A and B are shown apart, each in its own frame.
Chain A
Amino acid sequence: MLPGILELGNQLSQFLTPKYILDILWSVQLGIIVGMLPGLTATMGVALMTTLTYKYATDRAVLILICMYVGAIYGGSRTAILINIPGTPANAATTVDGYPLAKQGRAGEAMGIATTGSFLGSLFGMLMLAIFTPLLGNFALKFFSFEYFWLTIFGIVICGTLTAPKDPLKGWISGFFGLFVATIGMEGMHAYRRFTFGNVDLSGGISLLPAMIGIFGFSEILIVMKRPIIEVVESKIEKVIPHPAEILAYWGTIVRSGIIGTIIGAIPGVGEDIGAWVSYDFAKKASKHPEEYGKGSLEGLMAAETGNNAAVGGAIIPVLSLAVPGSAPAAVLLGAMLIHGIRPGPLLMIENPEFIYQVVAMLLLASCAMFVLGLLFIKTFIKILLIPPQRLMPVVFSLCVIGAYALSSRIFDIWVMAVFGLIGYAMKEMDYPVAPAVLGIILGDLLDKNLRRSLILTKGNIIPLFIRPISLILVLFIFFTIVSQTKWFKKIWESLVRSKKK
């Protein structure tokens, strides 16, 4: 415990220089603006910033990306409160109570609660990150090919289920499609070119960043341009800084949402939006005034914002300990770490243990900057929301082009961005979640290598894949996740619940 705190203090002191403080301030503020603007998501912000900062030193680049991530997840709350459109998907639950509050003329109060909730949620996530990353990392040292294979399948199935709760089949299709995309190009064992059809550019595979910029950038541009012109609610912005007694009144909600947000964030690929919804749902069930939810409940707003920002820290836990992202922006963060020579995963604890505390320190500084900047300059930056989309979106698209091109200087990557943008648009229009597809693209290589390694070890016998203790637990989880979504299971479950009540 004490060595950890000392290491954290040491890392913090390294970042408290004018150069780093300036980086923290501008990147958090830029993140807030990115989050605020509909059509610009946290994932896209982090992806574009990855391409811009790749010549920076590792600590400086990762610091900027984490600041952008934290700022963007929080920034979306302003749009959710003022125009009833979540700035990022993570703020969808914020609209439920934030917008009614703005309509009641309490936009300032709502933004103050959202800022405080986001700050406390981020701190909670940071604490969990510091505690659980080393524990999970040490546990993951027991993982072999068998466990990694099942972990990827588990990630896809659980992510598909949670990101498409109304239609998990579409979530699973999205995830397995992502896994397929990852198999395109030269494979790692025999250098055989799969599904390239003689195309030299495809031999290198589908790069993650251009694909993600397309899915989260270009597709969003098309969606925003399709939408009618949005109007900002005219609400006086007063009393932004909440009274400490107001915050203390919601301490139970804050702790509950912090725990839920972190756990949901740590589940592969699920992300901040589900973290916010689940936190909101639990807060409503536990509330003394559930009838106020949806009509402008400060408690509901607090739960949603605490939940989504706690998920940021949660999403980084599996990135560092398993090299498996907890959310889409965390997936880009994972990619950025790899670009900068950091190898996240169980071995990080042995090879580079101080990096974990470095990330914790970064998250702490980003959260503090977000809190301060969130309460200041509110009126100034809200004017950005008045920029018409037709003036903003071509700028965003030109940034998408630069972002896709920058890392490898290949025109092909710009085409990848455009194609995945169109695929992402079609998926969103037909209610397919895109997060499992992204997770699939990231985990595809892990699945491919580990399944083949396992089969080589067992000489083609698949039984050992099922009987190792950790594998068996993962298999059971996968099985129950799938079965629990079937109609007959739901019928049996409902009849069991009914008979228990009788």
Chain B
Amino acid sequence: MANSQRMNKADFITSLLLTFFGLGVFILSLHMPTFKEVGANPYSAPGIVPSALGFILFILGITLLIRSISRKGYQIQLSLNGFLFLYRKQSTRRFLIALFLSIIYVLLLGKVNYFILTYFYIFLFILFYEFNFKKKIILQKKVVIYAVLEATIIAHVLPLFFNIYFWLDYLRTLSYI
């Protein structure tokens, strides 16, 4: 029951986004050129299909909006306690760590050498989940050694293997990242 109520609220927000998105696509498509001035057939205009899709997305958004309103999805109550409860959940933390590390990795690609970046991404990923910062490193040396080994193999040995077996010049192309 609580889950379906949460879904109705999510549907309400999504429907609003979708309705405005569909409307935006429709309006932008109507402003696309028809190329009539260069003698093109008006039915070949690039805006025809996107405008139709924008209109359909708008209608689907409105349908979802009406349905979510009828199911009282508009009763959204935001509170600090709610956010704190969500943040304290183990699953949320696990998700956020994976998301944060992966997004940072993607954003740094092209700015930092691929091999170094991938090494640190894998190393830190394992440490963030397995390393207990309250315990001494000596007691957790197995975790650190495993992380170093895995990071080295994936960041350096795997591209080398791909180079040899699949004839892909990954070592050169990846070094350009």
Contact = CB atoms under 8 A, between A and B. Distances in A.
Interface of A: 52-53, 55-56, 169-170, 172-173, 176-177, 179-180, 183, 187, 189-190, 192, 194-195, 218, 221-222, 225-228, 388, 390-391, 393-395, 397-398, 401-402, 405-406, 409, 411, 414-415, 418, 430-431, 447-448, 451-452, 455-456, 459-460
A430 B130 CA distance: 30
A420 to B, nearest CB: 12
A456 B95 contact: no
B102 A418 contact: yes
Contacts of A447: 49
Contacts of B122: 394-395, 398
B125 A390 contact: yes
Nearest to B35: A190
A306 to B, nearest CB: 33
Interface residues of B, number: 70
A464 to B, nearest CB: 13
A487 to B, nearest CB: 10
B64 interface: yes
B78 to A, nearest CB: 18
A226 to B, nearest CB: 4
B58 to A, nearest CB: 10
Given A222-B95, A397-B105, A398-B121, A180 B25 contact: yes
Contacts of B176: 409
Interface-central residue, A179, A180, A393, by most chain B CB under 10 Å? A180
B106 A183 contact: no
A395 B28 CA distance: 41
Given A169-B67, A172-B60, A452 B98 contact: no
Contacts of A55: 166-168
Interface in B84-104: 90-92, 94-95, 97-99, 101-103
A430 B7 contact: yes
**By DSSP majority rule, is chain A's interface helix, strand, loop, or mixed?**
helix
Contacts, number: 153
A222 B33 CA distance: 41
B49 A391 contact: no
B43 A195 contact: no
B41 interface: yes
Given A192-B33, A225-B94, A180 B44 contact: no
Contacts of A397: 102, 105, 121
A398 B155 contact: yes
Contacts of A455: 43-44, 48
A53 to B, nearest CB: 6
A458 to B, nearest CB: 8
A94 to B, nearest CB: 25
Contacts of A459: 43
B103 to A, nearest CB: 7
11 contacts: A170-B64, A173-B18, A187-B46, A390-B125, A390-B126, A394-B125, A398-B121, A402-B162, A405-B174, A411-B110, A411-B177
A452 B44 contact: yes
A455 B51 CA distance: 15
B48 A391 contact: no
A452 B51 CA distance: 12
A195 B28 contact: yes
Given A398-B121, A411-B109, 10 more contacts: A52-B168, A173-B60, A192-B33, A222-B95, A227-B94, A393-B98, A394-B121, A411-B177, A430-B10, A455-B43
B49 A173 contact: no
A102 to B, nearest CB: 25
Contacts of A222: 95, 98-99, 102
B116 interface: no
Interface string B133-173: 00000000000001000100011001100100011101001
B146 A391 contact: yes
A390 B60 contact: no
Given A398-B155, A459-B43, A409 B173 contact: yes
B69 interface: no
A184 B41 CA distance: 22
A179 B60 CA distance: 14
Nearest to B98: A225
Contact of B57 (A180, A192, A411, A456): A180
Interface string B47-76: 111101110110011011001000000000
A393 B63 contact: no
B130 A414 contact: no
Interface string B17-29: 0100000010011
Nearest to A431: B7
A409 B177 CA distance: 9
B103 A418 contact: yes
B170 A456 contact: no
B132 interface: no
Contacts of A172: 60
B146 to A, nearest CB: 7
Nearest to A178: B53
B109 A218 contact: no
